[in-house]
Amino acid sequence: MSCEALIFDVDGTLADTEEVHRQAFNLAFGACRLDWIWDAPLYGELLQVTGGKERIASYIERLAMPATQRRELHNLIPEIHRAKTRLYRELIQVGHARPRAGVRRLMMEARDAGIRVGLATTTSPENTEPLLAAAFGWQALKWFDAIAAGDVVARKKPAPDIYNVALKSLGVDSQDAIAVEDSAIGVASAKAAGLFTVATPSMWTLTQDFSAADLLLASLGDPAQPLEPADERRLGARFLSFDRLAALHEAARRGVVHAQAE
């Protein structure tokens, strides 16, 4: 088996957190006395920009206003984003994010197989830890051999940088690692870093183009939450086990099979 590491994205992959981020943004705008509201359709558009600070900046560019006012608002971004992060953590700690099907099981199967497990995320470590604790319990913080998050890289996804940081920290070559992502931007980042990539779209990314992914499934599935019939037929299993994933990775490495074509 050539797989040595399994690297998960966070938002939308470990849990459906983008709705919580959206609510935290709106609460932060109120706290900063800004009359902005990001409704779901607008937030879906804004998700084309990764990074909360970058997303606020892209929103400000949309607003019609004098350059001086626009500059003032850009200068407010760090304060707005700090408030948003504080509010996001509070929402997460009161249980606003449930883990997605199969994530805990696949992590445990990989760890039991002696595989290193890591995270590569655009969001900050301050957001990642409470999410792990809320979704999987405090012991989950010990599950990861590497957590690459937030501003440790200047270029956010779709740049490969955050995956390169995770790979370096895990001490693994990209071709010996597998990524799990929920967005086309995330898939592009993992592929640009050279990883075999599984895509499990979230409610915010369903309509995105996942043709670059090596394997596309609606979710990872679980014994109690099996895959959708089409995915089950294509995969030949009721959920994606680590052994099956490692075998697909191995086959792809040997150029035998393109997993998505199965």
Q: How far is CA 82 from CA 27, 29, 45, 193, in A?
A: 12, 11, 22, 30
In the bound complex, what is the minimum distance in angstroms from residue 234's beta carbon to Mg ion?
A: 23
* From Mg ion, ligand XBP, none, interface partner of 96 (C-beta below 5 to 8 A by class): none
Residue of 5, 6, 7, 9 that binds ligand XBP (CB under 6 A): 9
Piece in contact with ligand XBP (CB under 6 A), picked from 27-35, 49-57, 99-107, 214-222: 49-57
| 205 vs 260, beta carbon nearer ligand XBP | 205
52 lies in the binding site for ligand XBP (CB under 6 A): yes
Residue the block writes with tokens 């779901």:
40
Residue nearest to ligand XBP (CB): 52
Q: List beta partners, residue 15.
A: 11, 99
CB 26 within 8 Å of CB 38? yes
| 174 vs 205, beta carbon nearer ligand XBP | 205
Residue of 109, 145, 176, 182 that binds Mg ion (CB under 5 A): 182
Cα separation, 182 vs 11, whole angstroms: 8
In the bound complex, what is the minimum distance in angstroms from residue 45's beta carbon to ligand XBP?
A: 13
Q: Which residues contact 233 (CB under 8 A, 6 or more apart)?
A: none
Residue of 7, 9, 140, 227 that binds Mg ion (CB under 5 A): 9
10 lies in the binding site for ligand XBP (CB under 6 A): yes
| Ramachandran assignment for 49, one of left (phi > 0), alpha (psi -120 to 50 degrees), beta (any other) | beta
Q: Is 11 known to be catalytic?
A: yes
Residue the block writes with tokens 């290193």:
116
- Any idea which residues carry the catalytic annotation? 9, 11
